Structure 1
Amino acid sequence: MSTAEATESTLDFTVPGLEKPCKTWYTIFGSLSKSVRPLVVLHGGPGVPHHYLLPIADIATKYGTPVIMYDQLGCGNSTRLPEKNGAGDFWTVDLFLSELDNLLTKLGIKDNYDLLGQSWGGMLGACHAIRQPKGLNKLVIADSPASMELWITAADRLRTGLPSDVQETLTRCEKDGKTDTEEYEKAVEVYYDRHLCRVKPTPAELKKSFEVMKEDMTVLLTMNGPSEFFITGTLKTWTIIEDLHKIIIPTLLINGRYDEAQDEVVQPYFDRIPKVKWVRFADSSHTPQLEERDEFISVVGQFLGLR
């Protein structure tokens, strides 16, 4: 499927207490207009830039709906702050909510928009939605945990299905503080091949995200940790379960059969959001937009009411 014409630019983003000027890079597929509600897409990580979500631009091509993607502060084409590595009091959910509000305001769309968040992006999108912003019309939460405790429990279970030598390598490297080694990285890839993206060869979009992420892992290491399943950062105790009833807009919940976000990890969203639909992709893991691209676009497009 061809991709809609894209334009890109940056927005100034003022961070309280930070003298360094910051910019948020964004790209728009299609054209913004008053008559068509745009879809804003939030990437995961935190700190894994937008490239792996590029198939979602098919929404613009297929339906004529503008799609906006951006790299969150600290990664990709946006301002990077390696001097803030380990600064848990700086890299907060509120910081990224402020950045999202800044983008919505400066693009002139805060009064009418839809939101799709993937993985960490879905967590961020849910945090945005519980504030009940008046312009948010519909929300898509894709492959996202309702709490990191549930995520970690599921990851521990999924790890037991890996070959015994891979499990041993992962555990030993994590215990010995050697998660930055090639040995650990290769063992992690075995897990990712099963539960992150099952398409082989690895899609170019995902490879690009990981390549750019590795240039500066400040946000990822501070908030998450060295891998998708070894959580050592500030998000380790994150949960939104008790606030989910505050999401009053129609919400689409997505995960994959082999997803790191297993059914029990996303179940609280389904149980507590009043207007919610849940679609599980039978042949996908954590990236259904790459693994079942056409079906993903169709499901999201139908939910958003696009024709």
Structure 2
Amino acid sequence: MVPIQTPVGTFKVWTKRFGNNPTIKVLLLHGGPAAGHEYMECFESFFPEQGIEFYEYDQLGSSYADQPTDSSLWTTERFVEEVEQVRKALNLDKSNFYLLGHSWGGILALEYALKYQDNLKGLIISNMMASAPDYGKYADSVLAKQMDPKVLDTIHQLEKRGATSDPKYMELLTTHYYNQHICRLAEWPEPVNRAFKHLNGVIYTMMQGPSEFGISGRLANWDRKADLPKIKVPTLTIGGQFDTMDPEHMKWISTQVQKGSYLYCPKGSHMSMWDDQQTYMNGLIKFIRDVDGGK
């Protein structure tokens, strides 16, 4: 448990370390916001055998971390300072520190790098675009058009009425959107289901909105496209063919940062680490090894 100083007091977040490698230490930033580390347990099946040291981590408000209720805590800026405090507590530095952020964690990783990249050895932005408005447009103009118009209409009606807590809302989204674009495995893995079960809905809705179908919370106007050229550390972006995020945009990010590369998962969706696992893990491990080897 790592103590985190915030403007409204000190709280604790949860971390778990695997392995021991003086030059490769990967900190995993989960999505949500507030989805918890659990769906990232799949890294346990790949990193240890490669000798990669890594840390699972529940951000404040998630799973095993403290869950304060002060809404002033749920800002990107505050989360960046939290990551910096975790980095110091775990003794991570530019000789070994790889930051891997997935989904909302990708926003957080990018924001961290823009402020603190001198502490980083490598950056991985997994399944996240550099612009929330562009993500919203992609959901509306591309993914929504792949849905049954009647289903889409019902979803929009429920959203307009503020009835997103109606079980029908998530039922429709799960069948017609999540199963196509969040995780395409016929049966969702237990760690994924567990993460969804433990998701802190208050924080998630405040920052993201009611669902993964577009974005409408505090993050709705987040856009860092213009700042990408400032990122000078080796950076890997990862995108999936069936992702909630535009794979072409994620490829484009890799051309905007100074030392970028792109990993494309042809069978993958938003959780490519599960539904295109071999492509994802092999490409990610190669990137980490290349950076470690000075390539």
TM-score, scaled relative to structure 2: 0.93
Poorly superposed stretches of 4+, deviation over 3 Å: none
Aligned pairs (5 A) from 1:142-291: 142-156=126-140, 157-189=142-174, 190-213=176-199, 216-291=200-275
**Residue 57, structure 1, aligned to residue 41, structure 2:** no
Runs (5+) with no aligned partner, structure 2: none
Aligned length: 288
Q: Say which SS state the counterpart of residue 100 (structure 2) adopts.
A: strand
Distance in 2 (alpha carbons) for counterparts of 1:267 and 1:304: 18
> 1:26 maps to what in 2?
15
> 1:3 maps to what in 2?
none
Q: CA deviation at 1:227?
A: 0.1
Q: CA deviation at 1:52?
A: 0.9
Aligned pairs (5 A) from 1:5-44: 10-16=1-7, 18-19=8-9, 21-31=10-20, 35-44=22-31
Is the 8 Å Cα contact of residues 41 and 70 (structure 1) preserved in structure 2?
yes
Q: CA deviation at 1:230?
A: 4.1
Q: Say which SS state the counterpart of residue 289 (structure 2) adopts.
A: coil
- Of 59, 73, 78, 2:65 maps to 78
The one-character-per-residue Cα deviations of 1:55-93 (angstroms, maximum 9, x if unpaired) are 122343221111101011111110112x33xx3x43111
Distance in 2 (alpha carbons) for counterparts of 1:208 and 1:169: 27
Q: CA deviation at 1:267?
A: 4.6
Distance in 1 (alpha carbons) for counterparts of 2:38 and 2:233: 28
- CA distance 1:132–1:246, change in 2 (3 Å): farther
Distance in 2 (alpha carbons) for counterparts of 1:254 and 1:37: 19
Counterpart amino acid of residue 69 in structure 1: E
Distance in 2 (alpha carbons) for counterparts of 1:193 and 1:265: 22
The one-character-per-residue Cα deviations of 1:224-277 (angstroms, maximum 9, x if unpaired) are 111012422110000111111111011111100011111344254123112111
- CA distance 1:276–1:133, change in 2 (3 Å): closer
The one-character-per-residue Cα deviations of 1:260-299 (angstroms, maximum 9, x if unpaired) are 1113442541231121111211111101111122222111
Runs (5+) with no aligned partner, structure 1: 1-9
Is the 8 Å Cα contact of residues 75 and 219 (structure 1) preserved in structure 2?
no
Is the 8 Å Cα contact of residues 59 and 67 (structure 1) preserved in structure 2?
no
Distance in 2 (alpha carbons) for counterparts of 1:238 and 1:24: 25
Is the 8 Å Cα contact of residues 239 and 251 (structure 2) preserved in structure 1?
no
Distance in 2 (alpha carbons) for counterparts of 1:230 and 1:300: 27
Q: Say which SS state the counterpart of residue 117 (structure 2) adopts.
A: coil
Distance in 1 (alpha carbons) for counterparts of 2:58 and 2:244: 23
> 1:4 maps to what in 2?
none
Distance in 2 (alpha carbons) for counterparts of 1:237 and 1:73: 22
Counterpart amino acid of residue 229 in structure 1: F
TM-score, scaled relative to structure 1: 0.89
Identity over aligned pairs, percent: 28
Counterpart amino acid of residue 26 in structure 2: L
Is the 8 Å Cα contact of residues 122 and 141 (structure 1) preserved in structure 2?
yes
User: What is the root-mean-square deviation of aligned Cα atoms in Å?
Assistant: 1.6
Distance in 2 (alpha carbons) for counterparts of 1:77 and 1:296: 27
Counterpart amino acid of residue 158 in structure 1: L
Is the 8 Å Cα contact of residues 147 and 265 (structure 1) preserved in structure 2?
no
The one-character-per-residue Cα deviations of 1:140-180 (angstroms, maximum 9, x if unpaired) are 11100110011001111201211223212211101111001
Distance in 2 (alpha carbons) for counterparts of 1:60 and 1:193: 27
